[in-house]
Amino acid sequence: MNAFLAVYLRELLILKRRFKRQLASMTVSPLLYLLTFGYALGRHLEMGGHSYLEFLVPGLIAMNSMTQGFSIAQDINVARFYFFVFEEIQAAPASRLSYVLGEICAGLTRVVLSALVVMGLGWLFGVRPHYGPFFWLAVLLNGFTFSALAVALALLVRSHADQSLLTNFVITPMAFLGGTFFPVENLPDWARTLLDVLPLTHAARAIRADALGYAPEWLPFAVLTASSAACLMLAVWTVEKAKD
């Protein structure tokens, strides 16, 4: 427990020092998407009886929770290659699980902040969706999945440049194809089948369903729970792998 708190508190102190910059990074992209896709292009569009802005805001929350959860990979990467923090953690009496959970909780802190930022932006644009317990459960499961994935990949890469490649080839395509900006159900069967493999697709579906007042389905939560567990186990394994 002490090791977990030490890792988590270290990340919170870093977040505190960078809070204004971090808040700006959480705000800029959703604001641009709301202005361009939601307001300028989709102002008069409707999606299943809801305005496009109402459809878009939950998708942006899903996307932002993914990107902010995964963003801890860059901090882990810098701390590992330039400040040798990982070597210090290896020498400390900290279990692999404690280290991983500390980093994941740091990612979840960013995820919750990013969700609140998008909710605030949506309020400014006149969007007042429902934010119930299933909404927050989906946000946290999505954030847990990508925070754990961030820990795993940050410890597998061998250089800081490799981390950028992973973001470009994994996170960026998922952000646009995971049901954030359009209904995945409108795609052909083969494309929908491929996109249903992505955790973000299920996160956007679950977050949007609760935000728009629909009854939650069990499948998205089952997929997000399974992906969270799988990424957690992968992250714990990579901590041991990185020691070699």
Q: What is the pTM of this model?
A: 0.91
Q: What confidence tens digit (pLDDT) does each residue in 132-187 have?
A: 999 999 999 999 999 999 999 888 877 766 777 777 888 888 888 888 988 888 88
Q: Is residue 190 pLDDT above 70, yes or no?
A: yes
Q: What confidence tens digit (pLDDT) does each residue in 12-36 have?
A: 998 899 899 889 989 999 999 998 8
* DSSP, res 186: G
pLDDT at residue 185 in the model? 82
DSSP string, 90-134: HHSS--HHHHHHHHHHHHHHHHHHHHHHHHHHHHHTT------HH
- Helix (H), strand (E) counts: the chain: 12, 2
Q: By percentage, how much of the chain surpasses pLDDT 90? A: 42
The residue with greater pLDDT, 168 or 103, is 103
Amino acid letter for position 165: L
pLDDT at residue 4 in the model? 85
